[in-house]
Structure 1
């Protein structure tokens, strides 16, 4: 009976060591599997056969220990070793390695969540971040303003080449020098048209209807009818030509005064009580009188050929003569801003020296909307003051609203002009350029990166960067209790505890390394040693069986 038991005991040794070799084989087979976690087989004793329970010490005896014969070994458990594997750099932006206790969360097509350490991700045809098996990586998305939406897991999407964004300009900073050696601007140039009369031969006034305006030398023929289109093209300010604009009689105005007001805006002449030289376009003594803003950069050049109409009958009699030149020097510059759709808009800026006071020079600047067809050319005017050392002191009037009606963009485009970088020293000449502005034209998502906290940042072709999402992680109270599935996946097990969803750097989840993969944590040296010891134990257990068999054979011979 005892020999038979010994054979069965030896058989348990065969079984447990066979299981251990299976575990070792599984480990070795996955030595190059991404983020694989090796396992070990744990043995435990089987029930023992008790011959005596032992006795307590007494006056006549020191006591005896139990007499038991073991019945072999059994597999107690297989334990997953969750230690960190080495990290290999790949350079691929979608490859993610975890350094810590966290797990990536992925979603199967049926909606079931799985967990993995394998961060060999990629983008599918819909630009979704997926595993090699097509499961979608989970994380936190963003709203239309690229603001992260925490708390709700979603499929992470990185729309390379598709997502297009722009940014409206909010701030413009100019660099350069406004030379204190410039001449103070005291007057604009004065330009006067030839005489105009009404149907009665009287000098035309601002109230004269455009349909009643006639040339002084042809008083019987009206120049315009309702619907006549009057175009100003070729006029210049300073050394730059102004974009063409068209006035429609009866739509844009009805009187000569209406046309004068429109012409004033077309020429970008800015008016106001704080502006010197009484600038503007007036109807005076039967003529159109054009007085520019002060300084040579603001001087208006216009001729009779620059104003035409589509009446097809009577050529316009406008002929302009400059009766007084502009006084004072300055500098002109232009820069580009962007509206909410990313459309570029050119803004002209003119600077003229307004005062050379004992407290430091004061400059006057004028801004114009240079976009063709703009409803209003003049944007506004302000001053910039320097101290006696040429250092910036203050600026006024530097908030501007640029009309974008009819473009589909948000209107107006509001921006601030930052002039703090300008200097007022007596340099050889004045020079002002665009330093920076914070608007951008449309751009497509060109690249992305994933930070150690899992935050996904997209870089657009226009230079903008925006948050695209954040990779979520899960941690478990007992990750050895997870149930291993195929394709390097795990699911929640009875003893793992529920998944605690978090992000990198929280709850011990660890950090994420982009452009890298975690390697298998299998130690081949240890596995080979395990093979040797398991093989030896297997041979020894089989020897127990063979020896017991030989002894039974001898017993049978003795009984004969």
Structure 2
């Protein structure tokens, strides 16, 4: 038999192998996640032609035949197509999803190797779904592996510790992923509320009786005396603006004695005829003008009634009173020779105090909603022209109310004084309220992202409320981010991390073997007397320090199509067909030569 027959036969067999591989690629051109094979050939063996003589300057090698060299896996990504399924995903980059046949299976990928309780497989087919038990599986029922935080117990998700969860999500301990359809968010008791607010004293006011009178209609004298005179407004809701117009002018005539006095709003003290609080003004009137300052009800017979400031003559003889200045104009205190007998006085218009109120929803252990209410009354203002620093102060009363009828449930409301410094920073200590027998820590100086302020160009408003409580919630949506972390969104606004999708990569993807159903497995080989995977050990797909995917990203609600290049495959198929035909012609030629040689003998 001549060598032509051997060469042609090997060429026919090898090109048949190439045609088979390419036709299989074309058959799977629409298979999701399919990895094409690239057939490669190599010479069968070669020999040196010694018969040609040793004086030749060429090697004079002779090749014999051809055989299949490899059927390598194409590592090119396929196209990425949008999908509507919540559990469909694609992986863009170098790496593989991990699936296995065992619902209770586990796998651990370490830096120096891996351990698994059962055989697992690798795939680029992200056409996943949820089975009847709530596990995430592929179309063939194989369970998808990843890191499950195991926060779902009996259909209820229990909130976890974010720091601990972040640590677990960086590990390489993988298991199946469990997400039942009717999962609920367990209510979480509110134990901490942080709020940031902006307080603008000119934005809202309330009648002064709501702050200066107790529930029995009696004057709370300390509040009256310590109230900053500038922290008042008239019945037209206009603030007094005393730092701009400081004078209160008093002229009093009693018998043969006449006094002409000018009192100023400031911090110089009574000895310098300056007042800041209503208590200071009361002392000035008593010591300098033998008059008195009081607060009276407009309807004395009512328990709660609008309050008026009153300058009165406390004793004989009768007095003739003149009152002027900006403060008197604002409060309707102007008097021009008004005759005051003993205990008669000049009343202002009803006074008001800058005010704001906030409410925050909080939750008990059963998820029932309550209101955390705070009322802010301004007691002191900043004086930008004062030689000594002044602070803006508010008196804050906080309590917890029923949601429906707004009745308090706290045994006793909590009061605190807050202040703003010159830079506008709030200074407020956290307070503790009794919430149905449980302590609730409440801070109003800052929330998670913002600090409280007193910006005069913004309305009084709640900037942000941060709290740790949550009501009961139903699962509404699932989202998988670029790093494969699974986030669950609930009807109560809570977003919780459930786990992450497992990704493994290999040093040599070509070492993986196809096992059908779009799955790949690790192929072991013995080299230097030691069995080792041809692909190398699996490597976890994320960085163990920051938890980010290192070699690619997850695309949620996308599927990766086959990476078969249709045009190139058809071109290569034609080339393989031509190669097959030419080798068949060579075989026929060799056969004819053999026959002719036999006929020569005859």
TM-score bucket of the superposed structures, by smaller chain: 0.5 to 0.7
Provide structure 1 residue ranges, at least 5 long, that are not aligned to the other structure.
57-61, 193-275, 278-293, 297-320, 406-410
Displacement, 1:474? 1.0
State the partner residue of 1:107.
Answer: 100
Residue number in structure 1 paired with 2:477: 447
* TM-score between the two structures when normalised by the length of structure 2: 0.61
8 Å Cα contact 2:198-2:455 kept in structure 1: no
Instruction: Give me the CA root mean square deviation.
Output: 3.8
User: How far apart, in 2, do the equivalents of 1:76 and 1:481 lie?
Assistant: 14
CA distance in 2 between counterparts of 1:381 and 1:80 reads 72
Aligned residues: 420
Q: 1:90 aligns with which of 83, 89, 101?
A: 83
Aligned residue in 1 for 2:173: 152
1:237 aligned residue: none
- The SS at the match of 1:46 is strand
Q: Deviations over 1:247-279 (max 9, x none)?
A: xxxxxxxxxxxxxxxxxxxxxxxxxxxxx99xx
1:376 deviates by: 3.8
3-state SS, counterpart of residue 82 of structure 1? coil
- State the partner residue of 2:126: 119
Structure 1 Cα separation of the partners of residues 46 and 378 of structure 2: 108
Does 2:363 align with 1:339? Answer: yes
CA deviation vs aligned residue, 1:402-449 (integer Å, no higher than 9, x gap): 3323xxxxx12222234875759799xxx9765542244222221121
Aligned partner of 1:171 in structure 2 is 194
Q: Residue in 2 aligned with 1:473?
A: 503
2:600 equivalent to 1:558: yes
SS of the residue 1:441 aligns to: coil
Q: 1:507 to 1:466 in 2, by over 3 A?
A: closer
Offset, 1:357: 8.3
In the TM superposition, residue 522 of structure 1 has moved relative to its aligned partner by: 1.3
**Compared with structure 1, are the counterparts of its residues 416 and 527 closer, same or farther at alpha carbon in structure 2 (3 Å cutoff)?**
same
Q: Using the alignment, how far apart are the partners of 1:13 and 1:424 within structure 2?
A: 86
Matched with 2:542 is 503
Instruction: Tell me the secondary structure at the aligned position of residue 170 of structure 1.
Output: strand
Deviates more, 1:332-341 or 1:6-15: 332-341
Q: Which residue of 2 aligns with 1:544?
A: 586
Q: Which of 7, 10, 14 is residue 9 of structure 1 equivalent to?
A: 7
> 1:200-211, aligned counterparts within 5 Å?
none
Specify the alignment match of 1:128 in structure 2: 135
Q: For the residues of structure 2 that align with 1:451 and 1:522, how far apart are their CA atoms?
A: 28
Q: CA deviation at 1:165?
A: 3.9
SS of alignment partner, residue 523 of structure 2 = coil
Q: Which residue does 2:67 correspond to in 1?
A: 74
Question: 1:193-234: CA deviations, max 9, x gaps?
Answer: xxxxxxxxxxxxxxxxxxxxxxxxxxxxxxxxxxxxxxxxxx
Calculate the TM-score normalised by the size of structure 1. 0.65
Offset, 1:535: 1.6
Q: In structure 1, what is the Cα distance between the partners aligned to 2:361 and 2:137? A: 40
Is 512-521 or 63-72 further displaced after alignment?
A: 63-72
CA distance in 2, matches of 1:547, 1:26: 31
Residue 130 (structure 1) shift: 1.8
1:25 deviates by 0.7
Conservation of the 8 A alpha-carbon contact between 1:96 and 1:514: yes
1-structure distance, mates of 2:457, 2:28: 76
| Map of 1:382 onto structure 2 | 416
Give structure 2 stretches of 5+ with no counterpart: 106-117, 152-158, 219-277, 280-294, 308-350, 384-389, 525-533
Change beyond 3 A, Cα 1:151–1:556: closer
Asked if the contact 1:128/1:157 (under 8 Å) is kept, the reply is yes
Whether the 8 Å CA contact 2:205–2:356 is kept in 1: the answer is no
Cα distance, 1:21 vs structure 2: 0.6
Q: Name the CA shift for 1:526/1:363 in 2 (closer, same or farther; >3 Å).
A: closer
Report the alpha carbon displacement of residue 490 of structure 1 after superposing the two structures with TM. 0.7
Q: Distance in 2 between matches of 1:190 and 1:86?
A: 77
Q: Name the SS of the counterpart of 1:125 in structure 2.
A: coil
Is 2:436 the partner of 1:404? Answer: yes
8 Å contact from structure 2 (residues 34, 563) kept in 1: yes
Shift of 1:30: 0.9
Instruction: Tell whether 2:442 aligns with 1:415.
Output: yes
Shift of 1:510: 1.6
Aligned to 1:369: 400
CA–CA separation in structure 2 for the residues paired with 1:493 and 1:329: 84
> Do structure 1's residue 188 and structure 2's residue 214 form an aligned pair?
yes
CA contact (8 A) 1:177 1:425 kept: yes
- The alpha-carbon distance between structure 1 residues 433 and 55, as it changes in their structure 2 partners (threshold 3 A), is same
SS in 2 for 1:483: strand
Distance 1:115 1:399, change over 3 A: same
Aligned to 1:462: 492
Aligned to 2:444, the other structure's residue is in SS state strand
Cα deviation, residue 26, structure 1: 0.6
2:420–2:427 contact (8 Å) kept in structure 1: no
- Residue 24 of structure 2 aligns to a residue whose secondary structure is helix
- CA-to-aligned-CA distance 1:526-557 (integer Å, 9 cap, x gap): 22222222222222222222223323333333
Q: Give the C-alpha shift of residue 382 in structure 1.
A: 1.6
